[in-house]
Amino acid sequence: MRVWEADVYRRAGLRDEAWAALARVPAQRRRAELSVTFDLTTALLHDAAGDARRAHEALEAALDDAEDRTILRPFGERGPELVDLLGSHLAWGTRHEAFIGARLSALAAHDDTRRTAAFWELTEREREILLYLRSPMTAADIAAALFVSVNTVKTHQRAIYRKLGVMGRRDAVRTAFDRGLLTGA
């Protein structure tokens, strides 16, 4: 119960109260989903305080438990707040690129701000692959994470480059950030 109390305080901007509530959670109670929620709340608090190192360390701990046990709910509950941190975590370095890509893709799929598609807008699969392009994953790694062939990933990459008017991966990510298709560092 204290973890959810801490998260309510954090959302209200009451950081000291959030830290105090987390401090009252006994170590033996920090298991499974509660542990993931605890670590995500800790990561978001550190991120809000500008402590990127501690934020990424706490996020990596949350990802360790979440991926091992397939715990997804805490990520969905904090979705919009986590998008930037998850995105920057890919650049920071993680053992969980595919898991993060799947979480970002799931969060993007629930985005209610999508507009009617035009021919230059990315398809859902292209947006999903664009999220992976932020990471150091190769086309083969992305294909394995998405359970598709490498040729399928490369076809989507070419379509992304054409639609964004760029020549390569870095330019695609930079242009996507500039156009608001991606957020975070």
Q: What is the CA radius of gyration of the chain?
A: 18
Convert the pLDDT of each residue in 76-91 to its tens digit.
888 788 888 998 898 8
Q: Give the span between the Cα atoms of 98 and 128, in whole angstroms.
A: 11
Residue 116 has a pLDDT of 41
User: Looking at the predicted structure, is the pLDDT value of residue 121 above 70?
Assistant: yes
Q: Comparing 51 with 184, which gets the higher pLDDT?
A: 51
User: Looking at the predicted structure, is the pLDDT value of residue 146 above 70?
Assistant: yes
- CA torsion through residues 91, 97, 103, 109, sign: positive
User: Looking at the predicted structure, is the pLDDT value of residue 140 above 90?
Assistant: yes
User: Looking at the predicted structure, is the pLDDT value of residue 59 above 70?
Assistant: yes
Where are the CATH 1.10.10.10 domain residues in the chain? 118-185
3-class DSSP assignment, residue 120: coil
Q: In b/e form, how buried is each residue of 83-108, taking b as 16+ CB within 10 angstroms?
A: bebbbbbbebebebbbbbbbbbbebb
User: Looking at the predicted structure, is the pLDDT value of residue 104 above 70?
Assistant: yes
Q: Comparing 33 with 99, which gets the higher pLDDT?
A: 99
Domain spanning 118-185, CATH architecture: Orthogonal Bundle (1.10)
